[in-house]
Amino acid sequence: MKITWADLLELGEEIFFIWTGTSELKWAETAWQKLEEQGFTSYKDDLQKHIVLLRFFILGVMYREFFQMAFDEPADLDVSYWLDILEGEGLYLSPFRLGQLADNQYRIDEALDAETVQELLPSIVSDLMEEQRDIVFSGLKVGFGSESLLFAHLWLSARSYDDDDDDDDEPRETVEEILASVTYDKMPAFRWVNERMPSL
């Protein structure tokens, strides 16, 4: 079994829509498909399913952090809201399963009231998805071909025009052009990607 982009479309539209929507969502769908090709979106049981969902969350965090590094755009991570959207799509992160994954870092049991559990969830999810960051980065690196190619595709996804807008006369950079001219404004994000996109 696996979780597809279509399964997470509503959440994806919330997480990855930063400026333009169209090219950003196309990048996210492509990135998730590349992870899918390597088996990172597949699961055999409910615990593994939770890990896959955490990978989607950290993919969104990494994308938003790229915008922060490249364009000084605040990441604006609202994990609580993302959890609400996920539940609306019928994909629920169980506090019990998250507690299992947290390996007793958080004690989630029947003694805790529902309100306390809900207050803890965003922190638990944030910690657990960070554990998936390196796996997701490795999958993206393999999927796109290299750190440099990953950077170029991330940069292209921030284009401020619609890919289907025939009236747009602005010249469109290609992957080759971006890599041939890693200018001063690109360097912070380029270095960050080459450092495996560490948490900001």
Q: Calculate mean pLDDT across residues 11-18.
A: 94
Query: Cβ(132)–Cβ(51) under 8 Å?
Result: yes
Residue 1 in domain: no
Looking at the structure of the chain, the number of domains it has is 1
More confident residue, 161 or 156: 156
DSSP calls for 147-193: HHHHHHHHHHTT-SS-TT-TT--SPPPPHHHHHH---GGGHHHHHHH
Residue 106 in domain: yes
Query: Cβ(107)–Cβ(56) under 8 Å?
Result: no
Q: What is the C-alpha to C-alpha distance for residues 53 and 45, in angstroms, rounded to an integer?
A: 13
Residue 29 in domain: yes
* pLDDT tens digits for range 81-107: 898 899 887 888 888 888 788 765 555
Q: Could you say which DSSP state residue 91 is in? A: -
Residue 175 in domain: yes
Q: Calculate mean pLDDT across residues 153-157.
A: 95
Per the structure, the complete domain to which residue 108 belongs is given by 6-194
Q: Calculate mean pLDDT across residues 108-112.
A: 53
